[in-house]
Amino acid sequence: MKRLMTTVVTVAMLAASSGAASAEPRAEPPPSCVALITSYEAQLAPGFVGHEVSGLATSGPGLGTALVSPLAHKHLGSFESCREAEG
Domain assignments of the chain as residue spans, ordered by start: 2-10+27-86
Q: Report H helices in 17-47.
A: 33-41
The pLDDT tens digits of the residues spanning 14-73 come to: 555 544 455 556 657 889 998 998 888 888 888 888 887 777 667 777 777 787 888 889
Angle among Cα 69, 71, 18 to the nearest 5 degrees reads 70
Predicted local confidence at residue 80, as pLDDT: 92
Predicted local confidence at residue 18, as pLDDT: 42
Predicted local confidence at residue 68, as pLDDT: 80
Predicted local confidence at residue 78, as pLDDT: 92
Cα distances from 35 to residues 51, 59, 61, 63, in angstroms, run 20, 23, 23, 19
